[in-house]
A = this chain, B = another copy of it.
Amino acid sequence: MKIGFVGLGIMGRPMALNILKGGFDLTVWARRAESMAPLLEAGAKGAASPADVAANCDIVVSMVSDAPDVEAVALGAGGVAEGAKPGLIYIDMSTIAPAAAQSIAARLAEKGVTMLDAPVSGGEVGAINAGLTIMVGGEEAAFEKAKAVLACMGKSVNLIGGSGAGQVTKACNQILTGVTVMAVAEAFNFARKSGVDAGKVREALLGGFAYSRILENHGQRMLDRNFKPGFKAWMHQKDMNIVVQEAHRLGLMLPTSAATAQLFNAMVGSGLGEEDSIAALKLLEGLSGG
């Protein structure tokens, strides 16, 4: 089975390298030649465009930034649809809106291409050590064919439902992680401004129903004042914007998600966008006397 990979950034590069390590024949393309170089050195073939990748492959994976990029890679001039052989499976692993993923999948289907939406969580570290959580939406037959490739990149690979279901699951993940980060930041600032040691509060609560991986891991980093990303605030802002837009489309009230989206907006507006999302603590502290 020949695999293609489009988009070789911070996430895409290690993911593509892990497909190579898995023993697959790999063809890559990225906008910038220097992004392709490490893959070519490792044994991948280079292509001239996503269409050129598609012409040589059974499965094409993409990892880009946003819905317009996915749209261009999949359906634009020189895109996957242009070069695809019948039966090609296209797996987009970017995080985009469920509705956008469904729309792209529907248009690809008209051209004989089957799309899976397969966004990930686990960040750069998970991409490097093949420890990503991969949430997949689409047809089961395509998922079964693609499984071995996805397994090169992640330790938890699940088909959740039809087209868009992977993106819906990722949105739920961003709701839970984003809101919990804010709740921990609020609790820690509340403790500190009440004259109580937030570290002792965290320790006392880890054993009970307040336990979350965010309290344990991100909470410790907050106490250490270690705001290096990790996961940048502007990226979580982008993902919460998807949640808020979907809520608008579906007519859903999501009050804590909406408050969290606003806090990420304020972080980006306050110059905290390039820091980890846990720098929300600094924002809250700054609003109550530092």
Contact = CB atoms under 8 A, between A and B. Distances in A.
Number of copies: 2
A160 B161 CA distance: 46
B172 A205 contact: yes
A128 interface: no
Interface stretch (A2-10, A30-38, A141-149, A184-192): A184-192
A287 B252 CA distance: 7
Given A176-B210, A183-B180, A186-B255, A194 B287 contact: no
Contacts of A195: 161-162, 164-165, 168
A241 interface: no
Interface string A240-261: 0001001100111111111110
A129 interface: no
Given A137-B196, A186-B256, A190-B254, 17 more contacts: A98-B194, A133-B205, A133-B207, A133-B208, A160-B201, A161-B195, A175-B186, A176-B180, A176-B187, A176-B205, A176-B210, A182-B256, A186-B255, A209-B218, A252-B288, A255-B262, A256-B256
Interface of A: 98, 121-122, 133, 135, 137, 156, 158, 160-162, 164-165, 168-169, 171-173, 175-177, 179-180, 182-184, 186-191, 193-197, 200-201, 203-205, 207-215, 217-218, 243, 246-247, 250-260, 262-263, 284, 287-289
In the complex, the 5 A-B pairs of residues with the closest C-beta atoms, listed nearest first: A212-B212, A179-B183, A176-B210, A255-B259, A172-B187
